Structure 1
Amino acid sequence: MNKRLDHNKRTEAFFLSNLTAAALGLTILNTNVVKADSGQTAQETAQKLDKNQTETTSTTNSIQQDINQDTSVNHDEISNSKNDKKVDQNENVDSSQGISEESPSKGSAGNDKPEAITTKPEDKITTKSLVKSKWGNVDVDYDTDTKTVTVHGSTDKDNPTIVNNPGPLCSSINAQNSTNASKAKKIIFDGHFKIVGEARSVFISFSSLTDIEGLENLDTSEVTNMYAWFCKCSSLTHLDLSSLNTSQVENMASMFEGCTKLRDLNISKFDTSQVTDMSYMFTGCNSLEELNLKNFNTSKVTDMSYMFAECSGLNKLDVSSFDTSNVENMSYMFNYCASLPNIDLHNFNTKKVTDMTSMFNMTYYHISDTGQAWGWNTQLTSLDLSSFDTSNVLTMAQMFFRCTKLQSLNVSSFNTAQVQNMDDMFDDCESLSTLDLRNFNTTNVTSMASMFRDTRDLINLNLSSFNTTKVKNMGCMFYHYYQDGKLKTLDISNFDMRNVENCGVMLYGLNELLVLKLGNNVKDFPKMELETPGIWLNVGTGTIQQPEARDKWSSEELMKNWNGEEETYVREVTLKVHYQDENGKSLAPDETITGTYDTSYEAKAKEIPGYMLITRPKNASGRIGENTDDITFVYQEIANNGGIPIKVGNVTVHYEDENGNQLIPNVILSGNIGDSYQTEAKSISGYTLKSKPNNATGFFTSQNQNVVYIYTKNTQNTQNDKQPENDSKNNSNHSSDNTKSNRRKNSSHKTSKKANEESKLINKRNKVRRQVANKSSVAKEKTEILVQTGRDGKSQVGILLLGVLAIGLSLFGVKIESKNKK
């Protein structure tokens, strides 16, 4: 019975499994049926579309037949209009007949012609706006309505239309028609072309052009000249020229000149290995912010004049890979690159350069029909030209003109033996404080007009090497328009001015000049218009600090009375000392300090009843010439019968290592406001003083001050600096011993000998502890291994017993089953 029941259960399970499989199969089958139905619907839809397309084709053929029957329509004009409509993106017309795809196949009222022709004027065929012309041997259409120029070429890429030595496209259209093609907004190269030979100014003067389509259809592999290709295309914003082959081009001068709105230019694949002329190449591209010229091969270039002139928006330019070994002209090369913070020119080879006129001139000047515009701007702060070889340069006029933010300029290695013109060379370099010209050779210079004009921050200038025997023009050489020249000393004693024709206002505006050296060959001194205030004293047999002072003249008297002999004059300087409260009210009569250049001085504070000094000026002491400003001591009133409403700040002296860790206790200094303080370095065992602070000496103020001495650890560690390797593993007793030993070390009453004995004792104890710790560690490891081995043995026995028990139970089960069968 049981067997039957089991059999029935197995049969039921089998039946249910089959039933489930059948259900799943039906489900899958149903999905396929649905898909088949969908496919059928799509097929029917496609048939309907094919039917509509057939009807549309029929309608189109009917329209074409009607047009052909219309004898009033010129067939050539229709053909031209069709071609024009195909490329007219502005009108969005796709059909060659000007019919919308949604137009009905028949017109109303039984008219076979579609209503689209009569009801949609914008789709009518017109030829009035189409101007036909030739560009060399190529057909060109210009649609004056859509402002589109279409250049027609071959449809066979392997047999392109050959264009030999083509000229300007715009001029060709204008010359053959009374139109203005410069207003064209789009140019399309429809077909394939191969341009051969010189292709000068191809796109020049398309001032409204915004798009060029089909540049990839131009084969330029045999073009030798690309002069001014995109010159004056002032509306272009994007140009991708990666498809152009420039391997044979020799001239790229003015190629992008005047592309004022060009922001994106891809010329990364240009092959410039044959180019000799890159002058004016990017002139006026003031919207460009970055230029990738890393792949430019400039080994044959001889002219780079104006190459980046007026690229005022350019803030990133890498010309470090340029080979300039054959360049002869670099005039105006970086003129008005107003946004460049620096220019890396250390790889420039300038051995053959003869012209560096205005190379870094930061001004612009334009003349147009509406007037003229000029100005300047710059972000350039430093220039290192120490690698320049200027041995063949003939002119450096205006080389750094109006580099107003230039703070560092290295021209110390310049060889100027051949230079003839230095006009305005450093004019308006108003942020330069120093300039090393000791190696300048000016033997052949004929003009130095305005050479140092308005260099207002220039303090010292050594021109002892200058040879001026050929100079004819020194007008405005040191002129300062705002009378703010900071130049302290000027030596023109070796100037030979016998050939100078103009030295007008040469010294005007040098209001802080303190030393002036004149020589026998200086002439027309009154014309130089020296107007420096104060009294000039002749040095004579004395010194600059203690002049002979036989002559005591104003600037006007000096120019009038100087006898033309070599002499040094120093200006007597009077420093005013003021004593004021916080509101600028005078509390005591002013004092004066008088002296000449480089004379030391010290102004002293006064005791003013009822007031306490709170600010001692930084220029209270120094040397005349370093600072000629007034000296002002500031006081605060004492209130409440001697109560001082001022908290005097302390000076805290710190002694630290390089990581800011304190090495010895701080020293705190106190005193009265205005009093001077002085700190000193300490000798610290195992350390060496690394830097002394700038405020090691100073004055007490109302604010707290910190003076930090920094030390560096000696490279050789002493025995006391060594630490036990296992400090972190020592027991608490060891930690306690260390604490005690540290306390003993820090106790001020311990003698050096006793400290050394304690140190030896501690090291000995540490050694014993390490030995004990090592032995203990080995014993512990052996114990752990034995314990682990015991655990592993017990685990193996347990597993074995479980296995035997499982086998026994299995045999017992088999035996019971055999009995049941019997």
Structure 2
Amino acid sequence: MNTHKNANKQGEKILLGGVAAAALGLINAKPQTVKAANQNGTRATKKTARRAVKTKLNYQSETGSETEGEAADDGHTVQNNSSQTAGSEANTSTSSSAPETGKEQTGANSNPASGSSQDAITGNTSDPSTTDNTKTEKLGKAVKRDNENPTILTGVWLGVDVTYQPGLGIFTVKGNNQTINTVNDRSTSIIQAKKSRDLLADPLIVDRNQVREVRFEGPLTINGTVQSMFDTLPNLTTVTGLENLNTSNVYSMYGMFANCSSLRSVEGINKLDASKVTDMSYMFENCFENSKDLINLDLSGLNIGLNINKNDTITMKEMFRGCSKLKSIILPDKIDTSQVTDMTGMFYGCSNLVSVSYPSSDNPEDPANQKVDLSKFNTNSLKYMDYMFSGCTRLTTLNIASFDMSKAIKTNGIMNALNNLPDLRKLVLGKNCKFYRNDTNTNVGLDTPGTWVNVGNGTEKKPQMSKKWSSIDLMNNYNGETDHDTYIRFYDGYPVKIHYVYLDKEGKRQPILDKDGKSYDYVVAGDNGKTSDPINTRNIYGYTINSIFVNNDKQSSTDKVAVTFTDQEQNVYFVYDRATGNPITVNYLYYVDDKGHTKPILDKDNKPMTEKVDGVLYGDQKDIIPKPIPGYTIKQININGATQPGTNKATVGYSEKEQTVDFIYTKNQNNNNETNKVKAADVTVHYKDEFGNTIAPDEILSGYVGDGYTTGAKNISGYTLKTRPDNATGFFSTSPQDVTYIYTKIDTNNTPNINEPNTPTKIPKENNRKEKNKKEKKKNPIKQTTSSNLPKKQGNSSVAKNQKTAALPQTGTNKHSSLAMLALGSLTLIGALSAAWFSRKKIK
């Protein structure tokens, strides 16, 4: 029995627990629509977690990716990286901010750099720590030791006997009237020059750092190229016997002495023949850098360009680039540069260069003769001269009067050609010199401080000075046709520009021009730190001085100013106001007879038609248009008594004197026929009290121009006339006219209200108002609203309806409350059924 009761109690607990759980579930349940909306919102805002993905990297050796062969040439831009070695790719750059260094040299036959070096024949690489015996073993079978002198190595280079003394670093070429053909024909010479180093890539020299002297003993003819003949022998100091070389059939001297940084003496170089050479680029690049003494280079025998085919072009790109210790160069008297297209960086970085001359010139060692004279250069074909003289910091005189820079301007190949020349004091310029290209804003980069003046008809010590320009102005303003001359940097200070300006309608400064259309501007110059003489205001017709500015600083004086010269350009502005001419009198006249006598045309007040027009600002003009006058036709215009062509306008300019414009008309013929008369504007007659209120209807009179009109006062009840208008009678005209009679009220105690309308407004009776309101209510019934302050006339049903509406919750709200009530009701019902069931069990 107890077991049975316990089971019943256990069942009761389970049943009641289930009911409670169900109730709680119903209470916490949410409507499906709301739940779905929340889920969507979560998806839209939650960020997706990302996993890191490992990427497989493929590595490739730099050495394996390099290729041998000819490097790309950028055409004319100065290059970087002067110490390129064999097998490396050419390093070029197109940067305009700084020139490049070096040259493109690649190829399997290229000579190695200092340090470890590769034998051009055997391919062996030397170790600087090895002994001479080890080196000899690596040289191969072609190399032998001299039996008489074991310290000398012997061998054959391109069919010519050569010797080398490693201990002394002396390399000797035993010429014996032999001929070396480095290329088969001329058509391949330039390609060959760009791909390989033709000479001294021999089996004897292993460590190129040890070579100190090269000797040529006996005649030797070379056909083709001498490409990089001595390139990258950093400790080579002396070359002798070059007069034994016949180079009359050499087409390329590309990089011949490049990177011989210790070279001090090249005997016989003045005997070399370059008459057929088309490529002299990089020929002496970075030479003489480590020389103890300044170098004078004699190239008087080169005969440049004398035997070039008409279709060939010559390049001298970076020929002397980086020769920082080179002091003077002697060029051949016989030189033809008319087929040279590229002189990019030709003298770039020659920081000690002071003289380029010819054998017939005076001694270049004399400081008085130190100048870079390129007056024999023909540059008709020159396309590229970027950085040509840039960095020649000791250069004082430059003569480029023969230069034709028209093609270089077109190819934009003038960039920084005259940049960084701080000591330059004399510049000789010709008709075809051009320094600035407007569309690309490219110029030669002349930045030498100070003031350039032209010598003109004077001397260098006392120049004419009709032009005073800063370096920037010289580049921007130079016109070869009119400005070719010798220019001297006469002052260390920058010029001061004097401007005479006026302010236009927008407040901008505009130059004042003279009668020939030229400005009054000029330039004063002086040495840095010195003060100029007083600069005075100029009296200019039509202008009055307003103020003076030095740069942006307004001065207290308006008559003169003094300026201290500096290392910067300065500007002085004399600011003027334009003067205004006297007023202009305009008369309207008509002819009265055939003799030209005139009378004034009368206006509506029977007065002569005339007017005053404001005067004209100096430099401006004013057009005055004649008025159309009914009954008259314009026939003539006179300005200050002078007849003007045409009759449509009078154009008047500035004058300090009074001016007169006469518009002369003729009367139209009417023959007493009204059809020929001109309809006049109406005359309106007004009747008003003294407060401006209309007390009688207006009257309108019509007629023809020139006819008379008459008006009169009216008898108005309760009013008496106070003022009769002056124009009560008059003549009709083309302009509307008003005639106003003023009255006063007879009863002065009842002064009318000026704000009171003439016609009083009727006030509707109360009954009429109520009746009107009833009709409006029928037409426009009052709409139901949800306001709690509704009038009782709307009825109880309306109020109840509104209350019921207000009691309803908004859609989707309070759903938890509804579900909770449902759950509690269900719980109560289930509890009642359970109690009844338990009671029944007990009864049983």
TM range (shorter): 0.3 to 0.5
Bigger Rg, which one:
2
TM-score (norm 1): 0.35
- Higher RCO structure, 1 or 2 (CA under 8 Å, sep 6+): 2
Which one has a larger percent strand, Structure 1 or Structure 2? 2
Which one has a larger percent helix, Structure 1 or Structure 2? 1
TM-score (norm 2): 0.34
